[in-house]
Amino acid sequence: MIKTTEKLVFESPKSLKAGMKFPFCAGCDHGVAIRLVAEVLDEMNLKEKTIAVASIGCSVMLYDYLDTDCIEAPHGRALAAATGVKRTNKDKFVLTYQGDGDFASIGLAESLHAALRGEKVSAICINNTTYGMTGGQAGPTTIMGQITKTSPNGRNEEYYGYPIKIAEQIALCDGTAYSARCSLDSIANIKKTKEAIRKTFEVQLQGLGFGFVEILSTCPTNWHLTPQESHERVRNELFQVYPLGVYKEV
């Protein structure tokens, strides 16, 4: 009998539900982002004290992936719900996971005011420049010229106005302790994203204020691109409009 030594080189984070499979479209970055969140929760030993807030959009079934307590908020209201959770449970770790439509369109008031109040919560916003779940319509982050189902001729100034720079706006709020924009287009950027997520968690734990990270992500299905082309689009088109970087760190 031959003895073999098995060495575990890769495992699923404990903060992800065991045996869970992401239902996202091929090439979508949601799965990577949620995995990063779970990894940081594991590494910071936060799973047992976490109450996550899910939003409306492709991110809605967060509770099917994260193995933490979780509440679903109505559309756009994740940071209001998170405020309610945190204010009545100061010892808990509270995070929201939202899309750009939820965070910066319907929920812009809730998002900005949570930042202005300096809520001790961590917010993660996935920016894929479109309303993904409803089938790829123009959203608040759709870039100029981008063709979507509701901008068939491309986003123009006359009909649509301009996209919002979320990380920059959040950085302007005095209650914000950390605001960054990251991307998942490369291994190096995935690593940076993970560090940004860690930072948003740390500022909450240290009681410094609102922690925020905007993650540029792909939507191959609605962009009508392959996964690889999608990441190329992130690099070639989105980086110019949405530069990566840390916009505020106290």
Partner 1 sequence: MTKKLTTGNHAIAQAAINAGCDGYFGYPITPQSEIGEFMSKKMQELERAYVCAESEIAAINMVLGACSTGAKAMTSSSSCAVALMQESLSYIAADELPVVLVSVMRAGPGLGYIYPSQGDYNQATIGGGNGDYKIIVLAPSTVQECIDLTYKSFYLAQKYRNPTILLADGLLAQMMEPVEFNEYPYPEIPIEDWALTGAKNRASRAIYSLEPKEDRLVERINTLFNKYKQIEENEVEFEEYQTDNADLIVTCFGSIARNVKSAINQCREKGLKVGMLRPITLYPFPTKKYQELAKTTKKFLTIEMNMGQMVRDVRLAVNGQVPVEFFGKSVGQWLSVEDIIAEIERFNG
Catalog residues that contact partner 1 under the rule CB under 8 A: 17, 47-51, 53-54, 60-61, 63-64, 66-74, 77, 80-85, 87-89, 92, 109-110, 113, 117
Residue 64 C-beta: closest distance to partner 1, Å: 8
Nearer to partner 1, 80 or 171 (CB): 80
Residue 61 or 172: which CB sits closer to partner 1? 61
Distances (CA, A) of 101 to 96, 98, 137, 166, 182: 14, 8, 10, 11, 18
CB of 121 to partner 1, least distance (A): 10
Task: Give the residue with the Cβ less far from partner 1, 45 or 228.
Answer: 45
Nearer to partner 1, 97 or 223 (CB): 97
Whole-number Å distance between alpha carbons of 189 and 174: 27
- As a whole number of angstroms, the distance between CA 87 and CA 103 comes to 20
Q: How far is the CB of 80 from partner 1 (least distance, A)?
A: 4
CA–CA dist 182, 167 (Å, integer): 10
Query: Closest by alpha carbon to 76, among 40, 101, 95?
Result: 101
Other C-beta atoms lying within 10 Å of the C-beta of residue 135: 12
Smallest distance from partner 1 to CB 16, Å = 11
